[in-house]
């Protein structure tokens, strides 16, 4: 009987000690859109990339639109099948799963209506130097600006993904150690009490 309680206590404590290791393998997926292409990055909480993880893309109704696998860098990209909210689900094996919802607005849909320009006030005829004609249309300028913005924003999206992947804090570690010490103390107290009766 005494031996079975000791074994049971050891198994219980081992379970408590090993349980935090399960959260050490938490998996995350981060997605963003550039134009009509959606990019994803997937990694475990320690920063290790998810290789050959299954990525599935669903519409708001839950219909599977497409699926694929992450590459050696934990990345997967695809052309958005439609402009709607997309739920991107990563399955990294052994029950590790995470999801990210990309809104239709991020894909370029449901953008705010442009503000109509204010009526031009009449200005007196002032001889000013003529504006230099660039030869570019408004659409071409818009495309150039959008391309430049995407290049500048791409590193920021990676930084946001990295910031979301926080490990345990110092207070979490100290709290866990205190919890374990408390359980060991409880076990020692119970054992002392049992030995005192015998």
Strands (E), 94-144: 97-102
Residue 102 — very low, low, confident or very high, per pLDDT cuts 50/70/90? Answer: confident
Rounded to 5 degrees, φ, ψ at 41 are: -130, 135
Q: pLDDT digits over 9-64, tens only?
A: 776 766 666 655 555 568 889 888 888 889 999 988 878 899 999 999 999 999 99
Query: Which tokens is 162 given?
Result: 């990295």
Please say if the pLDDT value at position 89 is more than 90. yes
CA dist., res. 45 & res. 160, Å (int): 14
- pLDDT-above-90 percentage for the chain: 24
Pick the CATH number of 26-107+141-163 from 2.60.40.10, 2.60.40.1120, 3.40.50.2300, 2.40.128.130: 2.60.40.1120
Q: pLDDT digits over 161-182, tens only?
A: 666 666 677 887 888 898 899 9
- Cβ burial, residue 18 (10 Å; 0-12/13-18/19+): exposed
H helix runs in the chain, sequence order: 2-23, 138-164, 170-197
């Amino acid at each position: 009987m005494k031996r079975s309680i000791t074994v049971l206590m050891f198994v219980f404590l081992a379970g408590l000690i090993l349980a935090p290791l399960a959260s050490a393998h938490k998996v995350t997926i981060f997605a963003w859109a550039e134009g009509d292409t959606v990019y994803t990055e997937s990694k475990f909480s320690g920063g290790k990339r998810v290789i050959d993880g299954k990525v599935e893309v669903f519409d708001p109704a839950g219909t599977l639109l497409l699926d694929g696998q992450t590459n050696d860098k934990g990345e997967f990209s695809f052309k958005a099948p439609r402009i709607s909210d997309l739920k991107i689900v990563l399955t990294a094996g052994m029950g590790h799963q995470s999801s990210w919802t990309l809104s239709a607005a991020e894909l370029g849909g449901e953008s705010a209506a442009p503000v109509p320009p204010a009526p031009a006030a009449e200005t007196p005829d002032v001889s000013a130097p003529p504006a230099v004609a660039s030869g570019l249309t408004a659409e071409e300028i818009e495309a150039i600006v959008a391309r430049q913005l995407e290049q500048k924003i791409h590193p920021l999206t990676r930084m946001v993904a990295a910031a979301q992947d926080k490990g345990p804090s110092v207070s979490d570690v100290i709290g866990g150690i205190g919890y374990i010490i408390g359980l060991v103390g409880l076990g020692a107290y119970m054992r002392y009490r049992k030995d005192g009766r015998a």
